[in-house]
């Protein structure tokens, strides 16, 4: 073995040793903490030797409590004498403070008396009250009001609080008694009543100009399911399915979806005929992963791709400030650079893997420069993050009915927040007594 061959072999072994040491450190960290059942091993974005800066990002506006619009009570605390020596005090200045407090809550109980009779034309009929949500009588005749039900659903589905703890919050905070089984049935009944709204969201999604999509593993009585999210700037649809294949996305969006589809590089989206864009942040993550593969001595190829994608992201931010001709010239330059890099035949493993990724997705790499869409899939990532957090606590759903209720209610809640609507009021109005939609 020559000296050059020995040095090359030493460099390769050092790279393998670094990967092994990083893996050992990651396993030690996982051992030291309680991780959810779906915890995925992710490569650190920041090397262990570096620290992220503390505090908020530069330019971020500070947050503080706003002065209340309504004052319910005013207390004046005089300063007639010194609280220490009891001597005379000359008052020079006065101060104002506002204290927002939750007053003790007692449930407002409404007793509703209805009647059953016989109509000569319609048969047996019964009177109903606008505040009723069911016709239950006897031991089941004590129910929660519409707003209390909406709050229960918001706590459980949007904030991810487990059923039992949601019941504890209702009891301790509002004096409402409810079992976890009763809450589960309440959630499923509410989902049936608003299923029509969920289907309307899907129809709106199919006519959107752009949709951001993502998916993550899910649990429905066992592993093997997936939670999908399809979001736009104004609405979001969730779907729980037993497949991660293209038919699921096609069933939600329609196989001929005409808008721009933004996603990662998963091949499940490639069958859509319309325009697409592949998330640039996922490309940058793939670059960092490939840098750590064995035999990666020369970073030139991956560095070139990293510069290209960071340049594309900067160009999208300058779209409004540049003339159309100038913007088009920069776009053509980036696409030409990408074609040159794809035409290369690199020898290092990490370079080859990334070249294959870029070659397979070449048709949809620069969608953010041709269409008014975000360069990353961050919208879908943010939409799916609350569900990922909830999954660490509950794993997902225990039954298919629970999964159906989850996708319906979370879609409606998330859309209401996107549109700055009051979800509690909206859902309360939807829970009036009427026949449930089957399904």
Tell me the C-alpha distance between 192 and 436, whole Å.
Answer: 6
Q: What are phi and psi of 263, to 5 degrees?
A: -155, 180
DSSP at 175: -
Structure tokens at 118: 């016989």
Structure confidence by residue, pLDDT tens digits, 232-262: 999 999 999 999 999 999 999 998 999 999 9
Most confident among 84-93, 341-350, 430-439 (mean pLDDT): 341-350
Of all helices (H) and strands (E), which one includes residue 414?
helix 400-418
Q: What is the pLDDT of residue 281?
A: 95
Q: For 329-367, how does the pLDDT look when each residue is reduced to its tens digit (9 = 90+)?
A: 999 999 999 999 999 999 999 999 999 999 999 999 999
Q: What distance in Å separates the CA atoms of residue 213 and residue 431, rounded to the nearest whole number?
A: 30
- 221 class by beta-carbon count within 10 Å (0-12 exposed, 13-18 middle, 19+ buried): middle
Q: How many CA atoms lie within 13 A of 73 on its CB side?
A: 5
**Is residue 211 within a helix (H) or strand (E), and if so which, with residue range?**
strand 210-218
- Res 134: pLDDT: 82
Confidence (pLDDT) at 29: 64
- What was the pLDDT predicted at 44? 39
Instruction: For tokens 């370079």, name the residue.
Output: 351
Is residue 229 predicted with pLDDT exceeding 80? yes
Helix (H), strand (E) at residue 212: strand 210-218
Q: Are 194 and 409 a contacting pair, CB within 8 Å? A: yes
**Predicted pLDDT at 210:** 96
The tens digit of pLDDT for each residue in 278-322 reads: 999 999 999 999 999 999 999 999 999 999 999 999 999 999 999
Distance CA 207, CA 230 (A): 13
Report the pLDDT value the prediction gives residue 66, as an integer from 0 to 100.
Answer: 87
Print burial letters for 148-166: b (CB count within 10 Å at least 16), e (below 16). bbbbbbbbbbbebbebeeb
Q: Angle, to 10 degrees, between the axis of helix 163-174 and the axis of helix 180-193?
A: 100
Q: How far is CA 244 from CA 31, 248, 249, 352, 433, in A?
A: 30, 7, 9, 27, 37
Identify the band that residue 438 occupies on the pLDDT scale cut at 50, 70 and 90: very low
Question: Of 65-74, 304-313, 319-328, which gets the smallest average pLDDT?
Answer: 65-74
Cβ–Cβ under 8 Å, residues 396 and 219 = yes
Burial class (CB in 10 A: 0-12, 13-18, 19+), 103: exposed
166 CB-near residues (< 8 Å, 6+ apart): 152, 155, 156, 180, 183
Residue 214: pLDDT band (50, 70, 90) is very high
Residue 2, pLDDT > 80, answer no
Check: CB of residue 167 under 8 Å from CB of residue 180: yes
**pLDDT value at 424 more than 80:** yes
pLDDT at residue 49 greater than cutoff 70: no
Residue 112 CA: distances (Å) to CA of 105, 125, 127, 358, 432 = 22, 17, 10, 66, 14
């Amino acid at each position: 073995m020559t000296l050059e061959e020995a040095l090359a072999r030493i460099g390769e072994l050092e790279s393998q040793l670094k990967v092994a040491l990083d893996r050992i450190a990651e396993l030690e960290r996982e051992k030291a903490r309680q991780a959810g059942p779906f915890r995925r091993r992710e490569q650190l974005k920041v090397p262990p030797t570096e620290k992220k800066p503390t505090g908020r990002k530069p330019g971020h506006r500070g947050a503080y409590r706003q002065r209340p619009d309504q004052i319910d009570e005013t207390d004046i605390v005089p300063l007639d004498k010194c609280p220490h020596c009891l001597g005379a005090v000359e008052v020079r200045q006065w101060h104002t403070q506002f204290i927002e407090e939750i007053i003790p809550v007692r449930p407002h109980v409404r007793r509703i008396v209805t009647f059953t009779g016989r109509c000569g034309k319609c048969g047996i009929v019964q009177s109903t009250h606008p505040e009723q949500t069911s016709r239950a009588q006897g031991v089941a005749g004590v129910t929660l009001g519409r707003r209390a039900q909406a709050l229960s659903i918001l706590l459980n589905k949007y904030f991810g609080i487990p059923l039992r703890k949601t019941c504890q919050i209702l009891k301790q905070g509002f004096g409402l008694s409810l079992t976890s089984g009763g809450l589960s049935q309440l959630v499923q009944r509410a989902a049936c009543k608003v299923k029509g709204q969920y289907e309307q969201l899907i129809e709106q999604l199919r006519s959107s100009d752009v949709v951001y999509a993502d998916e993550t593993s899910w649990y429905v009585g066992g592993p093997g399911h997936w939670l999908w999210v399809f979001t736009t700037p104004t609405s979001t649809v969730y779907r729980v399915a037993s497949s991660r294949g293209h038919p699921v996305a096609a069933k939600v969006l329609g196989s001929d979806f005409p808008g721009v589809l933004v996603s990662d590089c998963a091949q499940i989206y490639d069958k859509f005929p319309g325009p697409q864009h592949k998330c640039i942040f996922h490309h940058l993550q793939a670059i960092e992963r490939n840098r750590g593969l064995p035999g990666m001595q020369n970073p030139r190829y991956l560095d070139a791709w990293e510069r290209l994608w960071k340049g594309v992201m900067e160009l999208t931010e300058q779209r409004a400030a540049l003339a159309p001709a100038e913007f088009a010239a920069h776009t053509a330059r980036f696409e030409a650079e990408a074609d040159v890099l794809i035409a290369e035949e690199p020898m290092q493993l990490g370079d080859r893997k990334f070249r294959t990724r870029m070659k397979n997705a070449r048709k949809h790499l620069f969608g953010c420069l041709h269409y008014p869409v975000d360069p990353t899939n961050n919208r879908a990532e943010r939409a799916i993050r609350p569900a990922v957090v909830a999954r660490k606590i509950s794993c997902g759903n225990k039954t298919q009915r629970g999964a159906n209720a989850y996708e319906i209610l979370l879609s409606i809640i998330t859309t209401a927040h996107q549109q700055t609507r009051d979800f509690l009021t909206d859902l309360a109005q939807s829970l009036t007594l009427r026949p449930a939609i089957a399904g």
